Structure 1
């Protein structure tokens, strides 16, 4: 993975995206790149023809795993369709498939979707998006959500002008990571080592940890990794960091987020501040993040889907989007459980105190 190239692409596209949640093996990544839907052929793929007026629509959703952020993404997506008059059970049929964080299931889900006729396919998380782009016909519109780095995942070759039949939204803004690391450095002077539970098989986690490390290095804080390969190892990884680090941190790492209850429990039992990369985990029991609501992220992609379904817009003509509105989010109950004194200086960094300070 070329992080410098990724960051350069982000800068050129006004920080449009880096992408969500998930990993894939090298073979799948290469297949995605060589697919008729991949970046290598994106600019040569024909734009989808504008659909004729329809009384009803059928869409398929491939979701990599169930956890609060991805579930909220799906709910926001469907809410946007409903607000535009596309209602499941009335004029909209939704085929929801969940891979349960298993790569074999993930590929099988994509192949099943490819064998059906859909007006649009939504892929939630990087592994789902890579498999869908690899398997689904290039004439079927594809949107992705909860993807950390669409360029590195080879879903598109240009964030501003994707081309082909693929577009969507990234769930990461590099500024959210650097701002959180700066908050830790400024407000937690006793944190000299930050423990990161991570599945390095998920490219998005690697990208985000690299950005975090770069900022932490500026403040003399060491990033200590506790690697896992699946969700069942999260508890042991968190416990292995006790006594070795001063705080916990996790990225948008599907395997880790799916087992986050164990991290929260370990943090609370040992009075260790716990920082996350997403709001949903803070609402669940981490102390702080700089982020946004995944429901809003999904709603944003849902609005893109409405353009595709009702107006015949080609995904290739739609820029890859991202969340620009970021805020520091604090959970005061989590602070108490983790032995954190929430100061006025911390609260002063929150812009929207009504919604971003969780009581």
Structure 2
């Protein structure tokens, strides 16, 4: 009489148990951005890097999906609804419009926003304290007085500060209101030019010719996605561009004292990992990126009619040639 060995069955059972355990440990993250441009792309890549650093790697124990709304708020709402239907462990929304779309669609799916200037003004969270809701995240809020100090270093006699922005984007409206309060205290005036769509950026910038000494660009997504149109106006009219995101310096701004958006993404990824490990988003206080860097572009400065001081160039974290 022959007896069947149980060893192979035991091995199979062990393998099945291992597979079940791995499946149970796998988490899913859905990422949405309002538009694709270098700063927001850097946030997206940073989120993935921050998750990997925290033990969640795509293809191993993390399911990852990403969609861009291509600058369309209606598309952002569609993406939000689609992602909520997928029931991921967390949604990451990059930039204010995408975060607002997710908040409007769900009060239960964990949401981590990133690259949102003022999440309170955008009505994503009630305050900068733990929200006790399904929302937390990382802000790219900047100290505007330091931004204007940089403007003065680039253009020492600057009095009239031009800003091109989308009046429909909450983070840009916040910046405009703050500048309206701040600039008079610094002996400056604000000159606004509205660009509701990316295709409006060039014409809005041209409307500032002869009216401003410098153009300051905040992290308005319409403006950043069409930055080359702004650079052309700056070069043609000899109006220096000072940006608030360092990636714009690589694209033709004279200087920026801003956040490293890759680092901001990594900070966001680490926060998402905390949620994947069991923390509730409503118990996590929204954070602000504190790592600031100065980028300068002497070549762009020359094309836009100014010369950067040696001291400013030497103080820069990166000099774009």
Q: What residue is the counterpart of 2:137 in the other structure?
A: 168
Aligned 8 A contact 1:178 1:211 in 2: no
Partners of 1:184 and 1:125 in 2: CA distance: 25
* 2:96 paired residue among 126, 133, 143: 126
Question: Could you tell me how far 1:165 is from its partner in structure 2?
Answer: 1.8
**Separation in 2, partners of 1:193, 1:302:** 39
Aligned to 1:63: 33
* Cα-to-partner distance string for 1:185-238 (whole Å, 9 max, x where unaligned): 355233221211111111111111222333321232221111121011111111
The equivalent residue for 1:90 is 60
Identify the residue that residue 320 of structure 1 maps to in structure 2.
Answer: 286
Unaligned runs of 5+ in 1: 1-51
Quote the offset at 1:276 in angstroms.
Answer: 1.2
Q: CA-to-partner distance for each residue in 1:68-127, whole Å, 9 max, x for gaps?
A: 111110010001112233222232211212111112111111111111121111111111
Q: Under a length normalisation based on structure 2, what TM-score does the superposition of the two structures give? A: 0.88
1: distance between equivalents of 2:153 and 2:31?
Answer: 42
Structure 1 residues 288 and 182, CA gap change in structure 2 (3 angstroms): same
- Distance in 2 (CA, whole Å) between partners of 1:253 and 1:187 is 21
Q: Which residue does the alignment assign to 1:184?
A: 151
Relative contact order (alpha carbons < 8 A, sep ≥ 6): 1 or 2 greater? 1
DSSP 3-state at the match of 1:162: coil
Aligned match of 2:185: 218
Shift of 1:327: 3.5
Instruction: Return the offset for 1:278.
Output: 1.0
1:357 pairs with 2:315: no
Aligned pair 1:330/2:300, yes or no? no
Instruction: Look up the match of 1:46.
Output: none
Is residue 145–residue 170 contact of structure 1 (8 Å, CA) maintained in 2? yes
Paired residues, what number?
300
Residues 114 and 341 (structure 1), Cα distance of their counterparts in 2 relative to 1, 3 Å cut: same
Aligned partners of 2:260 and 2:293 also within 8 Å: no
Structure 2 gaps of 5+ residues are 1-21
CA contact (8 A) 2:155 2:214 kept: no
Which residue number in structure 2 is paired with residue 16 of structure 1? none
SS in 2 for 1:109: helix
Q: RMSD of the TM alignment (CA)?
A: 1.9
Q: CA deviation at 1:184?
A: 2.2
Cα shift readout 1:246-267 (whole Å, capped 9, x = no counterpart): 2111111111111111001111
Give the equivalent residue in structure 1 for 2:308: 342
Give how far 1:162 is off: 1.7
Deviation, 1:169, is 0.6
